[in-house]
A = this chain, B = another copy of it.
């Protein structure tokens, strides 16, 4: 039916206009700005149908129409083409991220870059420990009974813990401990580290077993505990940019939720590196994110996302542009981390 096709075209036009102007869009303006080949009156009829189907709504009688979450969803799924990044943007990504000196540097540059490209709030997750493997374990002696354990993962993440040793320890024991730990754990995926412990304890020299047991316990806390995932957040100033209408009430709950991190981390848990995940408004099923959309993707090799990154902004956002930016940055970050 030519009908339906045009109706979708109308929806697309509404989304595009609303995103760029931030004003509810009326039939007349639509007819002027797009050549839909029909008159405003016809568009009005289409709009009435779209409204009945729940894709658009009017803030009040006799204002223009505004897309609903459902409308954005349809737009994202069916009506928008990927918008390739400009050459300038691609070059900005490279220039910005090259020269990073360590993991933290890569991630904090990424978050700034992403915030700048999308003009939204950007979030970047540290590589999850649960998908990393041990590259090296270091034991540093702080005092006779205190050791510091340093874990370096294959993704460049470094975690540290202080261990109170049950017995006094000398340098020789520390060296032995280091060798034992590394031969047992190096290369092992973190979630599987627990399996190695019994064997390790059995084969270790007797005089080290007590110490080893304590150290292993702390280590497992660090390794297996999945709660320790961290986020880098940037571009929160962008929240104050747009119209005050973008978020119901204030940006306060959103800022709080971002600082809490846990909400965002939960969303991040669902990403993979091959497809960009877009969650629109209510779909986020969290009060603080009402009126907000979340565009995210995993970074790392395709079959194994190390972590996620994305942007948070008002539902009224440039989805094609943001999706492209998020994907491009993720790809580049993936490359950088694969190298190091």
Q: Which residues of A contact B (CB under 8 A)?
A: 101-103, 112, 135-136, 138, 140, 142, 148, 150, 152, 156, 158-162, 234-237, 240-241, 250-252, 255-256, 259, 340
Contacts and interface: CB of A to CB of B under 8 A. Distances in A.
Contacts of A340: 142, 162
A154 to B, nearest CB: 9
A235 to B, nearest CB: 7
A250 to B, nearest CB: 5
A136 B171 CA distance: 13
Contact of A158 (B142, B150, B235, B240): B150
A19 to B, nearest CB: 21
A232 to B, nearest CB: 11
A152 B152 contact: no
A135 B146 CA distance: 14
Nearest to A100: B162
A97 to B, nearest CB: 15
Contact of A240 (B162, B235, B252): B252
Contact of A237 (B101, B102, B237, B259): B259
A241 to B, nearest CB: 7
A234 B259 contact: yes
B140 A152 contact: yes
29 contacts: A101-B161, A101-B162, A102-B159, A102-B160, A102-B161, A102-B162, A103-B160, A112-B259, A135-B140, A135-B142, A136-B138, A136-B140, A138-B138, A138-B150, A142-B340, A148-B152, A150-B150, A150-B158, A152-B160, A156-B160, A234-B259, A235-B259, A236-B236, A236-B255, A237-B252, A237-B255, A240-B250, A240-B252, A241-B252
